[in-house]
């Protein structure tokens, strides 16, 4: 006789939910969406470790906890505190955790937590020293990452990142550990009550979304403005990172195109949806990434995409985006001209929409369940 599911003793999964924070927007978004779908699969008793220090203006953590019926435990240390190594084992033991998941790998302990799982999203610092704020930070990051990945089950969002992790840390990350992220449907239109929050935008503009960091290669887009049509603008969405002061405005002034550059440090979910749906095209010239969620967000919004021809974007976008060499300005200029052809434009919109439909958070959550239930190292 089978035992009812409600009577089975399920593993207790502890998740470091401190990443649901404005500082970790990309990681926080992925964690939030996967957790919401994970609750529907009902395979674990989930305990979220949260902190009074975290702040999230775009993702409603309280609603997530309430709607999904998650338990919570307090862990008030900063995400990067070395002292976590001392306090995590005790906190995980107190919460009776069987399996632990750390969406930001550097916050994971080297011991404790039952079967430890960490998500390494990318190898950006490892690929080029110029992408790290300084040598000391890069060396410490690599040292801690090496120690953690050899003591935990490593998960990652793309095969490209898996290959880089293997190259840099000599740890095998198989296909079963790859969790391709999904995409959330575009947010609804701004309500009448919040209509005043609607952004005033140029009638025609190209869009880029991402923090201002060297690997984003935004300077190429500034130089490309001169090749736009006279009434076209470039909208950059993303906060400054004080470790890398942005030279975008200064470069635009030098090139005489500052009046065609619009910068938005912070937007709401509804405003971001407005930005995507109104864009002429989404431009993503990154030199290296771990996944590239904005590609799928643009495709889901019915916007054609031009992106760098790098392994991870070939993996995420397939043939649904115009992929061009990231440092080749003439190639970007040519791609912009291609999208002015109505037939080509509609072809990439249709391909992108189909691609986005295949990328679901349900798929990501299902693959996560499979990864979490494999035997520990």
Residues 245-264 have pLDDT tens digits of 778 888 999 999 999 999 99
Say what the pLDDT of residue 123 is. Answer: 97
SS (H, E, C) the chain: CCCCHHHCCCCEEEEEHHHCCHHHHHHHHHHHHHHHHHHHHCCCEEEEEECCCCCCCCCCHHHHHHHHCCEEEECCCCCCCCCHHHHHHHHHHHCCCCEEEECCHHHCCCCCCCEEEEECCCCHHHHCHHHCCCHHHHHHHHHHHHHHHCCCEEEECCHHHHHHHHHHHCCCCCHHHECCCCCCCCCCCCCHHHHHHCCCCCCEEEEEECCECHHHCHHHHHHHHHHCCCCEEEEEECCEECCECCCHHHHHHHHCCHHHEEEECCCCHHHHHHHHHHCCEEEECCCCCCCCHHHHHHHHCCCCEEEECCHHHHHHHCCCCEEECCCCHHHHHHHHHHCCCHHHHHHHHHHHHHHHHHCCHHHHHHHHHHHHCCCCC
* Residue ranges in the chain whose pLDDT is less than 70: 1-8, 185-196, 375-377
Structure confidence at residue 243 (pLDDT): 78
Q: Do domains 5-182+361-372 and 192-358 have the same CATH topology?
A: yes
Domain 5-182+361-372 maps to which CATH number in 1.20.58.2030, 3.40.50.300, 3.30.70.1400, 3.40.50.2000?
Answer: 3.40.50.2000
Whole-prediction pTM: 0.92
Domain boundaries, the chain: 5-182+361-372, 192-358
What is the CATH superfamily name and number for domain 192-358?
Glycogen Phosphorylase B; (3.40.50.2000)
In this predicted structure, what is the pLDDT of residue 192? 46
Question: What pLDDT does 8 receive?
Answer: 63
pLDDT value at position 193?
Answer: 45
């Amino acid at each position: 006789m089978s035992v009812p599911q409600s009577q089975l003793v399920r593993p207790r999964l502890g998740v470091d939910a401190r990443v649901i924070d404005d500082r970790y927007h990309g990681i926080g978004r992925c964690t939030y969406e996967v957790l919401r779908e994970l609750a529907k699969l009902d395979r674990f008793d989930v305990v979220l470790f949260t902190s009074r220090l975290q702040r999230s203006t775009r993702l409603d953590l309280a609603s997530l906890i309430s709607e999904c019926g998650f338990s919570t435990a307090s862990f008030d240390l900063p995400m990067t505190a070395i002292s976590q190594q001392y306090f995590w084992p005790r906190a995980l033991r107190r919460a009776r955790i069987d399996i632990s998941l750390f969406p930001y790998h550097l916050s994971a302990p080297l011991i404790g937590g039952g079967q430890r799982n960490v998500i390494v999203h990318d190898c950006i610092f490892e690929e080029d020293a110029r992408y790290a704020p300084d040598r000391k930070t890069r060396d410490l990051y690599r040292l801690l990452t090496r120690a953690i990945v050899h003591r935990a089950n490593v998960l990652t969002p793309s095969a490209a990142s898996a290959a880089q992790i293997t190259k840099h840390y000599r740890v095998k990350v198989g296909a079963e550990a790859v969790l391709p992220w999904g995409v959330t449907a575009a947010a609804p239109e701004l309500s009448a009550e919040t209509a005043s929050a609607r952004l005033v935008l140029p009638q025609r503009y190209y869009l880029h979304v991402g923090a201002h960091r060297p690997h984003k290669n935004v300077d190429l887009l500034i130089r490309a403005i001169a090749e736009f049509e006279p009434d076209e603008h470039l909208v950059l969405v993303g906060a400054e990172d004080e470790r890398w002061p942005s030279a975008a405005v200064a470069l635009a002034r030098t090139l005489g195109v500052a009046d065609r550059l619009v910068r938005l440090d912070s937007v709401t979910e509804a405003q971001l949806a407005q930005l995507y749906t109104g864009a002429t095209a989404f431009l993503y010239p990154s030199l290296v990434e771990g996944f590239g969620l904005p590609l799928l967000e643009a495709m889901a919004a019915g916007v054609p995409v031009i992106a760098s021809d790098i392994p991870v974007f070939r993996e995420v976008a397939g043939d649904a985006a115009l992929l061009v060499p990231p440092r080749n300005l003439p190639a970007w200029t040519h791609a912009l001209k291609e999208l002015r052809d109505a037939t080509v434009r509609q072809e990439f919109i249709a391909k992108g929409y189909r691609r986005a439909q295949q990328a679901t958070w349900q798929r990501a959550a299902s693959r996560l369940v499979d990864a979490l239930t494999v035997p520990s190292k």
